[in-house]
Structure 1
Amino acid sequence: MISNEPLRIALIAGEHSGDILGAGLIKALKQHYPNATFEGIGGPRMLAEGFKTHFQMEELAVMGVFEVLPKLFRLLSIKKQIVQRFIANPPDIFIGIDAPDFNLRVEKLLKAAGIKTVHYVSPSVWAWREKRVFKVAEATNLVLALLPFEKAFYDKHNIPCAFVGHTLADELPLEDEQTASRALFDLSATDKVLAVLPGSRGSEVTLLSEPYIQAVLLLKAEIPKLKVLVPLVNEKRKEEFLAVATKLNAEEIFTFVDGKSREVMTAADAVLLASGTAALECMLLKRPMVVGYKLKALTYHLVTRLFKFNIEHFSLPNLLAGKQLVPELLQNDLTPENLAATLKPLLEEDQTALKQTFYEMHKSLRLDASKQAALAVSNVIENKHD
């Protein structure tokens, strides 16, 4: 169905992965509403689709209790301003993309003011503090879930939810494209290549760079010809990582790449990365990986003391599989020695069986997610959802 109504559609994305989802959704919504305008908070990919941002997306890209505190007043100010703007001039629908700590608060206020709201990317209510699901219901007319087990969770609680698949599963090829990617970086078919992705947030790069770099130094001692590529999302993240590498006298062993994380992962034999969307992307690229993550010590202490977790794994490949397919090293287990020990077999042993498992998982998520999400949003706009 195509409508020529000049709709105003508001969206907020809080980080790089949300920007990717937002751009795909905007593009798909234009097929339903060619005269629609799009505004809110977004990143460069959304801007490229004609989106108007009222604040810089980077301002929302913080996580962890103590990491948020220094920026709390600014975050509250942004929330107040954006809510006032949309209540004073209501959009036809508001879509919060991920960033649940920020977006659900915005959605709740807008929904109370009579504005239809959708939350794209389920918060991890299935993992911890399960009763938060009712706060999600209070804030939204519909949740768009990327993963099948999330849809089942919402159905159990009778909360409107649509499983749309994942845009990355649609974008990435089912077949391996390593040869072409290696050519981009002057790598041969016989080179041993490790990709290192320390995260897209400043707090992640700050905490993860040192153990990651120390692990690479250990690996280089055992695999001297190992080539190590580090794609970083922007110059600021590069400066943060390079500062740690320089401190450890290790800057010469890395090849830095501006962006192009997808191509770097495809070129690699194995990948070391932070948790999150990057782990899913790595799985879809059929690359063996080690997922290593940590929070600031006090943040981790508070989180684990205050909240009960209902999951055995924290990386998306393992959550999707319902078992451990890839090694996970969290907090105190994230040591250079552990990282090196789990990466070494991925670089030296045959991983065909794991890659085939990733292939089958890829197919299960390939649903044309942006199209499915746009259809679900249009149903809310047209009052086909509560």
Structure 2
Amino acid sequence: MFQISKTKLCFPLSTFTKRYSSFKATQSVIDKAANDGELRVFIVSGEVSGDNIGSRLMSSLKKLSPLPLRFHGVGGSLMCKQGLTSLFPMEDLAVMGMWELLPHLYKFRVKLKETIDAAVKFKPHVVVTVDSKGFSFRLLKELRARYNRQQLENCPVHFHYVAPSFWAWKGGESRLGGLSEFVDHLFCILPNEERVCREHGVEATFVGHPVLEDASEFNLMRTCKPQELKLEGLSFSEHSIPSVFMKQDSTVISVLPGSRLQEVERMLPIFCKAMKLLKDPFPKLVTLIHVASNSQVDHYIGKSLSEWPVPAILVPSGSTQLKYDAFGVSQAALCTSGTVAVELQLARLPSLVAYRAHFLTELLIRYKAKIPYISLPNILLDSPIIPEALFQACNPSNLASIVKRLLLDEKMRERQVVGAEKLIQLLHPSESRMGNSIHCTGLESHRYTPSMLAASTILSYVKR
């Protein structure tokens, strides 16, 4: 049922434990795990972006841990490749929005109890939840309550990866303090989150944004434009797309409708109508439709192709290289709001962010939001670098008009490329801020990644 990863010790256990022997009052995570001869990690992710973060964290833990690792929990295909046997399909948790969640509440309660039961039986040293704060925080809160209520021994340390976006909502910061009751440590992916969390009594570490792992792996930190990437002979354009679509006079647009079924069902028909409006002004238009690692989404998009008005190629999930190669041969992108907006900036691909939801969810967002933007690049830069089409403005006519401008207006395109340079610097912790963590784990600064810093924090963590 459970899988033990086959890993090599990166350095002797005695070296690791000695490094943290200065903590006299209690033991670090790895010290406690040493008593059992293995480190047991219960990890949960409920969506595609979290599956990516979770898989990289698992990989980094295996690289750094001096002990064998055992994983259990809930995750997607990427986490399963790292040794996780998922309790149930990750897609069962992939629901967003308050009103959209209501029909699924009973199923969520069943899955929550199943997950808590499995965690208690597994007896983990560490519990890690990734994003999906609705399910994650209920899990951590009820799991801790069960340990306390049943007076179970060896309560695990609770980590949550991706701090809640308290900065986006009215009164958000005031609710942070309650997290300390069931979250021992937060991994923050944005600048200033760590400081605010600590000010409200929540231990936190700024590890950097997960897309920095893409930059590290594919050397995307350099300044380059999509047109320049096209000339580099990327495998995607050479081997994966029929040459008829890659003619020099083709207009190629990456389309990213989302990772959850409900948002894809809402957004893809709108995107389809927008492409129909673009067909006449761009007669050689080609679309690359990126399909999330979600079987339900895959099936839905496959069925929708029969009504798609222009030539289209599905870009499958699972390969970061393939995704960025697709960005590299595109002239623009149309995406649903999410992590992908940052990925597109990393690729320096001019893009349009769109978003629609249930009308009651939209009303709630308008009432509670305290920032004027929805996409992370615009929020961090405090400027509408990326055009956004939200709520009623997210209609086929408006989307087509903005995409047309993106394709033809060089100043508009250049503005996004310049903004991307500033954004990437903001998302990366300075070496001085990483100093203690790097020193404790022996990580070389040039090998730093967010997941490595998070993994080193977990292994050396001492619960106060």
TM-score (norm 2): 0.76
Matched to 2:255, the amino acid is: V
Aligned to 1:118: 159
Aligned to 2:301: 241
Distance 1:243 1:53, change over 3 A: closer
Q: Over alpha carbons, which structure has the higher Rg?
A: 2
Is 2:71 the counterpart of 1:38?
yes
Is 2:328 the counterpart of 1:266?
yes
| Residue among 197, 202, 205 paired with 1:159 | 202
Aligned ranges for residues 96-115 of structure 1 at < 5 Å?
96-112=129-145, 113=147, 114-115=155-156
**Percent of residue pairs identical:** 29
Distance 1:337 1:102 in 2: 36
TM-score (norm 1): 0.91
CA apart distance, 1:323 = 1.7
Is 2:80 the counterpart of 1:25?
no
Aligned ranges for residues 150-299 of structure 1 at < 5 Å?
150-172=193-215, 173-175=220-222, 176=224, 177-179=229-231, 180=234, 181-183=236-238, 184-185=240-241, 186=243, 187-233=246-292, 234=294, 236-241=296-301, 243-244=303-304, 246=306, 249-259=307-317, 260-299=322-361
Aligned to 2:371: 311
Aligned to 1:344: 404
Query: When the two structures are aligned, how many residues end up with a matched partner?
Result: 379
Distance 1:189 1:136 in 2: 53
Aligned to 2:128: 95
Post-superposition Cα deviations, 1:338-378, rounded to whole Å, max 9, x if no partner, equal 11121112112322342133134224434510111112212
Aligned to 1:332: 392
SS of structure 2 residue aligned to 1:222: coil
SS of structure 2 residue aligned to 1:208: helix
How much is the aligned-residue C-alpha RMSD, in angstroms? Answer: 2.2
Moved more, 276-285 or 129-138: 129-138
SS of structure 2 residue aligned to 1:55: coil
SS of structure 2 residue aligned to 1:50: coil
Segments of 5+ residues of structure 2 without an aligned counterpart are 1-14, 17-29, 148-154, 429-447
SS of structure 2 residue aligned to 1:292: strand
Distance 1:223 1:125 in 2: 42
Distance 1:31 1:147, change over 3 A: same
Aligned to 2:452: 371
CA apart distance, 1:109 = 2.4
Moved more, 365-374 or 320-329: 365-374
Matched to 2:460, the amino acid is: N
Work out whether residues 24 and 167 of structure 1, in 8 Å CA contact, stay in contact via their aligned partners in 2.
Answer: no
SS of structure 1 residue aligned to 2:119: helix
CA apart distance, 1:137 = 2.4
Work out whether residues 317 and 325 of structure 1, in 8 Å CA contact, stay in contact via their aligned partners in 2.
Answer: yes
Moved more, 91-100 or 351-360: 351-360
CA apart distance, 1:190 = 4.5
SS of structure 1 residue aligned to 2:280: helix
Matched to 1:274, the amino acid is: T
Matched to 2:179, the amino acid is: V
Moved more, 181-190 or 103-112: 181-190
CA apart distance, 1:89 = 4.3
Distance 2:195 2:50 in 1: 23
Distance 1:86 1:243 in 2: 38
Post-superposition Cα deviations, 1:245-291, rounded to whole Å, max 9, x if no partner, equal 54xx4345323333344332232111000111111111111111100
CA apart distance, 1:27 = 0.8
Moved more, 194-203 or 208-217: 208-217
